[in-house]
Amino acid sequence: MTRSLEDPAEASYIRESQLATPHRILNRDRRTLEAIFRHPVSNNIAWSDAFHLSERLGTARQEHNGRLLLEIAGQRHVFHQPHGKAMTPEEVAQLRKFLESAGVTPTSVEVVEEERVAESPELDMVVAIDHHQTRLFTIEGASESSRTLRPYDPHHFLHHLSHRQDLELRGQREPEEPAYYEQIAAALAPARRIVLLGHGTGHSNAVAHLEEVLRAKHPEIHGRIVATKDVDLSAITEPQLLALASATLGLAEK
């Protein structure tokens, strides 16, 4: 079951403004978007792919009760807790209707390759990651913004990131939710320079796992990491974190 949260009085204005500013997505998200709009309705779209597409287009978060909250271009929609990894045809139809209300269709978006996105010369990103979430801080000139990414966990199996025993990634165990790390990698694609912050040792170090995944699967992004710092994220404030990152980036320029 779903319900839509929309102000009808603003809908017309919002849709008109969307026509002048197309949504930008990466090429790998285009396949998910096309599958959502395919006829007949697809029954093999992964919830994680739909969640990550929504993150690219706007914001998406999962509440403790399992509900998924999506917001794109001022339109909001609530999905109740999914009961499987794949979306049902009814859920796909609901998501398609929501995307259309937000002005998103396969023909309305602009597909941007990672290489083109990464051209911005002034964009720096700071990653503060532990086993519960990843905080991404974007520094562009004098402006700063932040967003939070969490593992997709519809059934609350992952209270923290665990590891599979039977898979290896260059000597490290593969994360239980690889799509989570892919989501982080996609978010880092526009960055010119990257600073990683975290704490832990061995396999409990989420920063080490992220860095290894980037090295193995996204070497072009890994090459933009200028520093990795061991920081107790539970004992540092956001201003202190950003000050540390700014100092680190300043040293990297020398």
Residues 6+ apart with CB under 8 A from 205: 198, 199
| pLDDT (tens digit per residue) in 112-129 | 765 444 444 568 999 998
Band (pLDDT 50/70/90 cuts) for residue 169 is very low
**Residue 146 structure tokens:** 């932040």
Looking at residue 167, its pLDDT comes to 38
Looking at residue 151, its pLDDT comes to 73
Structure pTM?
Answer: 0.50
Q: Please name which of 195, 132, 194 lies closest in space to residue 160, comparing C-alpha atoms.
A: 132
Is residue 36 pLDDT above 90, yes or no? yes
Looking at residue 251, its pLDDT comes to 63
- Residue-range domains of the chain with CATH: 2-112 (no CATH), 114-253 (3.30.420.60)
Residue scoring higher pLDDT (200 or 163)? 200
185 contacts 127 by C-beta, under 8 angstroms: no
How far is the C-alpha of 26 from the C-alpha of 20, rounded, in Å?
19
Average pLDDT over residues 132-141: 84
**Residue 105 structure tokens:** 């269709």
| pLDDT (tens digit per residue) in 195-231 | 999 876 654 578 888 999 899 888 888 999 999 888 8
Q: Please name which of 223, 48, 226, 242 lies closest in space to residue 118, comparing C-alpha atoms.
A: 223
Other Cβ atoms less than 10 A from the Cβ of 171: the count is: 6
Q: Which of 2-11, 68-77, 179-188 has the least mean pLDDT?
A: 2-11
Decide: residue 200, CB within 10 A, 0-12 exposed, 13-18 middle, 19+ buried.
middle
Going from the C-alpha of 112 to that of each of 49, 56, 115, 117, 191, the distances in angstroms are 18, 12, 8, 7, 15
Looking at residue 253, its pLDDT comes to 57
Looking at residue 130, its pLDDT comes to 81
Q: CA dihedral defined by 118, 136, 251, 121, rounded to 10 degrees?
A: 20
